[in-house]
Structure 1
Amino acid sequence: LAGIAGSALVLGEFYRCLDIISAGYGWDGLLIAMIVNNNPIGVILVAFLFGVLKTGALAMEAATNIPSELSLVIQSIIILFVAAERGVITLIQRKGEVPPIV
């Protein structure tokens, strides 16, 4: 599906391949999939949240002069909390194990 969407952009809108076509949507998709552990329902919900953040950031900047980069900060905080949660769970699981003798 992503290939069809990409070819539709190249052939239908720009008529050539440019480096600015995707705006990093692939990386956003990878992050979203990692956040929800590839849960299909979770992907839909988190993708909607990230889309609202990106779209709302532009409207927020136009209406209130708050920089649109604030949405990137919010997305980064979400990613950091998810990564920290996984790290803490791993540390708790390892706490009961006997460390190897070096």
Structure 2
Amino acid sequence: MQMRPIVSGRGLLLVLVCSCLAAWSSLVPAARALQLCTDGRAPVPLNRTLGFCSSYGGGSSSCCDDASDAALRRQFEAMKVADAACAAAVKSVLCAVITQLC
């Protein structure tokens, strides 16, 4: 009775290549990708903190300007959501537009 090898030649090569890539990747510093808005443009610098979606901005830049922030506030207020938990969820969805990592 002849025994078959546990790992074939191609499987061994794959394991070797993956091991080499894993070892090499720890030596190379992580690259930082350019963060884009959902419409593909770069975030705009903010002159001041956003009023409505202040906790969703990216700090010094955002995918939302003052006019867009005000429009989101009007849209939210027009919904007249009474429940606080539901209102927080709706605000989160509306303000998700301005996050940099969408």
User: Same fold per TM (> 0.5)?
Assistant: no
Q: Normalized against structure 1, the TM-score is what?
A: 0.30
Higher RCO (C-alpha under 8 Å, 6+ residues apart): 2
Larger Rg: 2
